[in-house]
Amino acid sequence: MLQNYFKARILVPPVKSKYHRTQLAGAIVIGLLKNVFTLNEIKAGLLALLGNGTPKTGYNNFVVMFNEQAAKAGKELSDPTSLELKSASQATLMQYDAVQSILFWLSAKNRLKELMDD
């Protein structure tokens, strides 16, 4: 699976088969996103996001948003507490939308499972 990400140039390949934190963090994010987006869409989103900052900052923002929104899952949607959406950059808004997409996908999957179990 990771080899596909390296070949598609979504992740930087490891040097001497040693993975770095950035590559592992990227694999986690891609693993979540690939259920909702194509690899080309993920690549375009990451390029847009990383054009405005470092991979570490992008990953940390993603984790904060994901954790905040996952804690609110199943409840009424609300803005994240960690950032002001009105003044957020387009890249940050895209990241927020991607987090919401993942959570909606997971919610729909759980509802389907519940229906099938009944």
- Does residue 15 surpass a pLDDT of 70? yes
- Taking 80 as the threshold, does the pLDDT of residue 85 lie above it? no
Q: Which of the four pLDDT bands, split at 50, 70 and 90, describes residue 116? A: very high
- Domain extent, residue 99, equals 2-117
Whole-number Å distance between alpha carbons of 110 and 10 = 29
In the block, tokens 């890249």 appear at 91
pLDDT band at 83 (very low <50, low <70, confident <90, very high): low
Based on the structure, what is the number of domains in the chain? 1
Closest of 41, 40, 36, 38 to residue 105, by C-alpha: 36
| CA proximity to 80, closest of 60, 100, 51 | 100
